């Protein structure tokens, strides 16, 4: 059984997919089951930690102090409300500022998830 917003990767072709509707089947790519990507938890000194600044009542800015070189960079940042009804995703390229500004009252709370091309998935709650 899959869960909404899980990330899966094919180890053969490196496709990564995010689930928008859960089901009872398994995801298959290149003839094999895709791997559910593990969500790592960074401590505050880790380069994958997401800092959140409040700009006003509903506007917030996520900043990640990670290198953004062609060899090693954050491919995307997501803000996900705890009830998973709100998702904001920003795709990044090398040299882009590693940040995301979003508007959400997110009364139920939210977390930040990012995908590093070398180090995988990181979640800051
Ligand atoms: Fe990284």
CATH fit for domain 39-124, picks 3.40.50.920, 2.60.40.730, 3.10.180.10, 2.60.40.1930: 2.60.40.730
Distance CA(86)–CA(84), nearest Å, equals 6
In the reported structure, the alpha carbon of residue 78 is separated from the centroid of ligand 1 by a whole-number distance in angstroms of 15
CATH fold of the domain at 7-36 = Rubrerythrin, domain 2 (2.20.28)
Q: Cβ contacts of residue 66 below 8 Å, gap of 6+? A: 47, 48, 73, 74, 98, 116
In the reported structure, the alpha carbon of residue 24 is separated from the centroid of ligand 1 by a whole-number distance in angstroms of 32
pLDDT score recorded for residue 105: 85
In the reported structure, the alpha carbon of residue 7 is separated from the centroid of ligand 1 by a whole-number distance in angstroms of 17
Strands (E), the chain: 7-9, 16-18, 28-29, 32-33, 35-36, 39-40, 50-54, 59-64, 74-81, 87-91, 99-103, 110-116, 120-124
| Predicted confidence band of residue 47 (pLDDT cuts 50, 70, 90) | very high
Residue 106 has pLDDT above 90, yes or no: no
In the reported structure, the alpha carbon of residue 34 is separated from the centroid of ligand 1 by a whole-number distance in angstroms of 22
**Structure confidence by residue, pLDDT tens digits, 10-19:** 999 999 999 9
**Structure confidence by residue, pLDDT tens digits, 69-100:** 999 999 999 999 999 999 999 999 999 999 99
């Amino acid at each position: 059984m899959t869960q909404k917003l899980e990330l899966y990767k094919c180890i053969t072709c490196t496709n990564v997919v995010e689930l928008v509707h859960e089901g009872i089947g398994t995801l298959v790519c290149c003839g094999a089951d895709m791997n559910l990507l593990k969500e790592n938890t960074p401590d505050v000194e880790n380069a994958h930690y997401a800092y959140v600044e409040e700009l006003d009542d509903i506007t917030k800015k996520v900043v990640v102090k990670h290198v953004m070189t062609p060899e090693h960079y954050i491919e995307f940042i997501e803000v996900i409300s705890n009830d998973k009804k709100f998702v904001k995703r920003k795709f990044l390229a090398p040299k882009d500022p590693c940040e995301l500004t979003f508007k959400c009252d997110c009364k139920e709370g939210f977390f930040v998830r990012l995908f590093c091309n070398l180090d995988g998935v990181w979640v800051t709650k």
